Amino acid sequence: MKWPALPRPEGRQFIIGIPWFWLALFFLLPFLFVLKLSLSESTLAQPPYLDIVREFKDGLVVLAINLGNYELLLEDSLYVKALISSLEIAAFSTLLTLLLGYPMAYAIARAPRHWRLPLMMLIILPFWTSFLIRVYAWIGILKNNGLINQTLMALGLIDSPLEMLHTPFAVYVGIVYSYLPFMVLPLYATLIRLDMTLLEAAADLGCRPWKQFLTITLPLSLPGVLAGAMLVFIPVMGEFVIPDLLGGPNTLMLGKLMWTEFFSNKDWPLASALAAVLLVVLIIPFMLLRHFERRSEEAQ
Q: Which amino acid does the sequence have at 169?
A: F
Question: Quick one: which of 13, 129, 151, 265 contacts other proteins (CB under 8 A)?
Answer: 265
CB of 47 to other proteins, least distance (A): 6
CB of 232 to other proteins, least distance (A): 23
Question: Quick one: which of 70, 169, 213, 262 contacts other proteins (CB under 8 A)?
Answer: 262
Instruction: State yes or no: cis peptide before 7, omega within 30 of 0.
Output: no
- The residue range among 19-27, 91-99, 172-180, 244-252 that interacts with other proteins, by the rule CB under 8 A, is 244-252
Applying CB under 8 A, the site for other proteins has a residue count of 27
Task: Confirm or reject binding of residue 68 to other proteins (CB under 8 A).
Answer: no
Task: Confirm or reject binding of residue 154 to other proteins (CB under 8 A).
Answer: no
Task: Confirm or reject binding of residue 158 to other proteins (CB under 8 A).
Answer: no
Burial-class residue 111 by CB neighbours within 10 Å (0-12, 13-18, 19+): middle
With CA atoms as reference, report the closest residue to 127 among 85, 77, 180. 180
Q: Which amino acid does the sequence have at 120?
A: M
Task: Confirm or reject binding of residue 238 to other proteins (CB under 8 A).
Answer: no
Question: Quick one: which of 16, 28, 30, 81 contacts other proteins (CB under 8 A)?
Answer: 81
| Footprint of other proteins on 6-35 (CB under 8 A) | none
CA atoms within 13 A on the CB side of 15: 5
CB nearer other proteins, residue 46 or residue 130 = 46
CB of 185 to other proteins, least distance (A): 34
- Cα angle for residues 152, 155, 157 (degrees, 5° grid): 60
Task: Confirm or reject binding of residue 90 to other proteins (CB under 8 A).
Answer: no
Cross-strand pairs, 60: 57
Task: Confirm or reject binding of residue 217 to other proteins (CB under 8 A).
Answer: no
C-alpha span between 83 and 188 (Å, rounded): 31
C-alpha span between 250 and 152 (Å, rounded): 27
CB nearer other proteins, residue 31 or residue 262 = 262
Own/partner pairs for 58-62, CB < 8 Å, 24+ apart? none
CB nearer other proteins, residue 43 or residue 215 = 43
DSSP codes, 172-186: HHHHHHHHHHHHHHH
Task: Confirm or reject binding of residue 151 to other proteins (CB under 8 A).
Answer: no
C-alpha span between 112 and 46 (Å, rounded): 61
Q: Which chain residues interact with other proteins by CB under 8 A?
A: 44-48, 76-78, 81, 143-145, 160, 166, 248-252, 257, 260, 262-267
